[in-house]
Structure 1
Amino acid sequence: MDFWKTIKVLLRRWRVAVPVFAVSIGLAAGVYVSVDTEYESSGTIVLTSPTDGPRVAAEQSGPADRVNPFLAFDASLNTSATIIIQKLQDPTVQEQLVGGNKQIGYEIGNGQLTGPFIVVVSLARTPDDAKNTVAKVLDKARTELKQSQEALKAPVSTFITPVDIIAPTNAEAKTGGKVRFAAVALALGLIASLSSAYAMESFNQTRKKKRSRERAQQEWQHQGSLEQNGSSGETARMHPVSQKPG
């Protein structure tokens, strides 16, 4: 019932609703054009254990066995990947990698994958910036992993090795944000169109009711005046003035 009432109001007030909606479409198109397109690229590496194991025997390198501390506990590879991810999530490191460019950003994590995966996703205003940023972050992850193991004096033969799973992909345009902004603008325009139609309808209905009340009041006053005049004439006929001959 409300739907058909709305349709009737729009049909009656189309001279107001249609221009407002047309302007809204123009605004939505302007929003879509004005919002910059972002490009997305991604890449993935996985950490692998050394083929010779995490330990170097004493007879090969010294008086005691030497072990890679990164491989000295359960789920070592997963923990090592988490450590690298945490380091590259540092805001200072992120700013260094993107050169302070606010139009470039990246996210790093395990991509919700099971295992020691490091997944990088970058968003930028140009395809090259997105792809290059992924490459930089993955290179930084490799460097951090190597430096961390060197700092702990792990034998080189026991180093954890990063292996490329997905090289930095060619960036693709992401238009979802543009579409969302345009959809919001269009929805607001539709609301404005309906509101303007209802406002005009309400104004006209109020004006009609006011005119009806004024007309009814005038008719009532006119009828009362007639009745009053009629009563005065009857009174005059009921009490005639008589004159006696002198």
Structure 2
Amino acid sequence: MDLAEIWRVMRRRWYVLLPGLLLTAALTTGVYLMVPVEYLSQSTVTLLNSKKATVAFDGNPFLSTQASLTGMADGLARNLNSDDSKAALKSQGLTGTYEAKIADNAQGPFMWLSVTGTDPAAVLKSDQIFTAYAEKRLQEFQSQQAVAPEAMIRMATIVPPQKPEPQTKTRIQYLVMAGALGFVLSLVATFFVEARRRKADNPGGTGRRRPPAAADAAAPETGTPQSAPAEAPRPVSHTHLTPPTTLPVYISLRGRTTRVVTTHLEPAAPAVQEAQTGELLAGPLNTTLATVLLGDLNSAAGGVGATPGTNTQSHNRLLAAGFTDAWTATRHRNPGFTCCQAPDLRNPTSNLTQRIDYVLFRGKVTALAADRVGDAQGDRTPSGLWPSDHAGVSGVLRLR
């Protein structure tokens, strides 16, 4: 199934797809309302050497760094993320979720202290509480080990708690998931209904759909001819020794079904030919579907160039029955002769003097173009033979 076929199925089963898309829109709106925007506030702190350790550097702690400070920063971050610290911070009024970690790509004992929540004001306040608690917890660690005040590691705030910024990534992910899920389910429902309809149209399970059950029924789209007619030709009140040779088929394209009939009428007995025309009109052509008739009718258009065998009213009767001649509809200034070359096909110049081969149509069909093939000198074989005693007729038709 190509993209064009998928689009046609979606258009044909719009009554399934449209409610699904509306439900998808409602689901996405619900997710938008239920999943709030989260805000993030973050501060950056660093650990500094003790006053005692910076004496050699005139008391400047930024000139004195030790690898042990990074280890201490990692240990402090782990403690701040513990359950005990969570309980202590909650009791101090911290809301939302928080995290302490070594700063990414840090070249020293730098830490990020982050708080996330849905209320920007509460997030900022919580980050301030968290930052103050981190410094307090560092001092408690060292006091528990009876470290002298002059030898205690200190903490400095490099970046204070920042104004909370919205974090929309999670919300967008949920919205995309809801929209994608709804759209996929809508497509699944659409193609499920299509499959059920096709199965109902073809209970034999051969993969081909049967033609319409009635003359005016809309057949499912196949894009390929179907040779089993759904309309039984109307019985006629008379029979002939030479019934017309006909082959009716159905073509369904984009939900529009057209009956196509090809025939070859009697060339030698005008009375029989006209009776065959009556049988065509009473049988295969007796339908309310758009219809295309193709064939060698052996009835000269307008009587031009007619011979005793082609001087009949078959063509006129079909026009009177509502059919349109694709050639005159698109090439009315060109006679469009199609008959006939010499029986041995060796005549050096064309002998086409009458038009007896046709593309006729009736109903919701429009002729866009018509042409002949095998009528030009360049169509002859290297040995000088014409392709046929008749020129072929081609047409481009549009189903409305």
Which category describes the TM-score, using the shorter chain as reference length? 0.7 to 0.9
1:51 Cα deviation (Å)?
Answer: 4.8
Please point out which of 66, 91, 100 is paired with 1:108: 100
2:81 aligns to what?
89
Report the Cα distance in structure 1 between the residues aligned to 2:94 and 2:186, rounded to whole angstroms: 37
Residues 123-175 of structure 1, C-alpha deviation per residue, up to 9 Å, x if partnerless? 11211221122112221111121122223333322322211111011112222
Counterparts of 1:203-242 in structure 2, within 5 Å, are 203-210=196-203, 212=210
Q: How many percent identity over aligned positions?
A: 23
Amino acid across the alignment from 1:118: M
Report the Cα distance in structure 1 between the residues aligned to 2:189 and 2:136, rounded to whole angstroms: 62
1:52 Cα deviation (Å)?
Answer: 4.1
Report the Cα distance in structure 1 between the residues aligned to 2:134 and 2:9, rounded to whole angstroms: 63
1:157 aligns to what?
150
Aligned partner of residue 210 in structure 1, secondary structure: coil
1:103 Cα deviation (Å)?
Answer: 6.2
Structure richer in helix, relative to its length: 1
Report the Cα distance in structure 1 between the residues aligned to 2:100 and 2:21, rounded to whole angstroms: 43
CA contact (8 A) 2:93 2:126 kept: no
Select between 164-173 and 132-141 the one with higher mean Cα deviation.
Answer: 132-141
Any unmatched runs of 5+ in structure 1? 56-73, 217-246
2:174 matched to 1:190? no
Counterparts of 1:1-246 in structure 2, within 5 Å, are 2-53=2-53, 75-99=67-91, 104-112=96-104, 113-210=106-203, 212=210
Amino acid across the alignment from 2:33: V
CA 1:75 to 1:24, structure 2 compared with 1: closer, same or farther past 3 Å? Answer: same
CA contact (8 A) 1:103 1:125 kept: no
Amino acid across the alignment from 1:174: Q
Aligned partner of residue 41 in structure 2, secondary structure: strand
TM-score by length of 2: 0.46
Structure richer in strand, relative to its length: 2
CA 1:27 to 1:102, structure 2 compared with 1: closer, same or farther past 3 Å? Answer: farther
CA contact (8 A) 2:117 2:123 kept: yes
1:68 aligns to what?
none
Instruction: Tell me the matched-pair count.
Output: 199
Aligned partner of residue 125 in structure 2, secondary structure: helix
CA contact (8 A) 2:40 2:165 kept: yes
Residues 31-59 of structure 1, C-alpha deviation per residue, up to 9 Å, x if partnerless? 1111122211111100111354179xxxx
CA contact (8 A) 2:31 2:178 kept: yes
1:240 aligns to what?
none
Select between 94-103 and 171-180 the one with higher mean Cα deviation.
Answer: 94-103
Any unmatched runs of 5+ in structure 2? 56-65, 205-209, 214-227, 229-400
User: What is the root-mean-square deviation in Å for CA atoms of aligned residues?
Assistant: 2.8
Select between 23-32 and 3-12 the one with higher mean Cα deviation.
Answer: 3-12
CA 1:183 to 1:102, structure 2 compared with 1: closer, same or farther past 3 Å? Answer: farther
CA 1:92 to 1:121, structure 2 compared with 1: closer, same or farther past 3 Å? Answer: same
CA contact (8 A) 1:43 1:120 kept: yes
CA 1:104 to 1:23, structure 2 compared with 1: closer, same or farther past 3 Å? Answer: same
CA contact (8 A) 2:95 2:122 kept: no
CA contact (8 A) 2:43 2:114 kept: yes
Report the Cα distance in structure 2 between the residues aligned to 1:17 and 1:52, rounded to whole angstroms: 75
Relative CO higher for 1 or 2, CA cutoff 8 Å, sep ≥ 6? 1
Amino acid across the alignment from 1:153: A
Aligned partner of residue 53 in structure 1, secondary structure: helix
CA contact (8 A) 2:47 2:73 kept: yes
Aligned partner of residue 53 in structure 2, secondary structure: coil
CA 1:171 to 1:203, structure 2 compared with 1: closer, same or farther past 3 Å? Answer: same
CA 1:102 to 1:202, structure 2 compared with 1: closer, same or farther past 3 Å? Answer: farther
